[in-house]
Amino acid sequence: MKKWGPAPEKWVTVFAAGSKGLGEPRKMFGYSAAFVNGNMFAGLHEVGMVMRLPEKERGRFLELAGAHPFEPMPGRVMREYVVAPDALADEPRAVRSWLTKAFRYASSLPAKPSRKGGAARRRHA
């Protein structure tokens, strides 16, 4: 399996500012990400910023030049996730607007149960 490279530097700053106050910041595969109710709604990857959007919004987003579905490995498209076009990084208000839509969508999904301590409890059972 290929080792992923770092997220583009321009997205690191834009993502940090745009996602501030939305959900819970965490790391996912070593990249900055944002979660709500255990569901990831946005994050960084070597391809840039990725977001989870509902079908209607995802369709609109994919109309932006350079936007495309998120495929972290060839043939492994993550449904509902899209990659932001590079040009969007120069529009912080638009980034915040799209991240807010992603946050709202993930907030509407069923909460994922917490896995904190689950592995440790199973080992000691």
Cβ pair 45, 4 in contact under 8 A: yes
Structural domains of the chain in order of their starting residue, each with its CATH number: 9-110 (3.90.1150)
* Residue in the block written with tokens 């208000």: 93
* Chain centroid offset of residue 100 CA: 12
DSSP H or E segment with residue 19? helix 9-19
pLDDT score, position 1: 56
CB contact at 8 A, 82 and 61: yes
Task: Give how far Cα 35 sits from Cα of 38, 63, 75, 84, 116, Å.
Answer: 6, 25, 25, 18, 15
pTM of the model: 0.87
What are the tens digits of pLDDT across the range 80-116? 999 999 999 999 999 999 999 999 999 999 998 876 6
Distance CA 71, CA 16 (A): 22
Read off the pLDDT of residues 23-80 as tens digits, 9 standing for 90 and up.
999 999 889 999 999 999 999 999 999 999 999 999 999 999 999 999 988 899 999 9
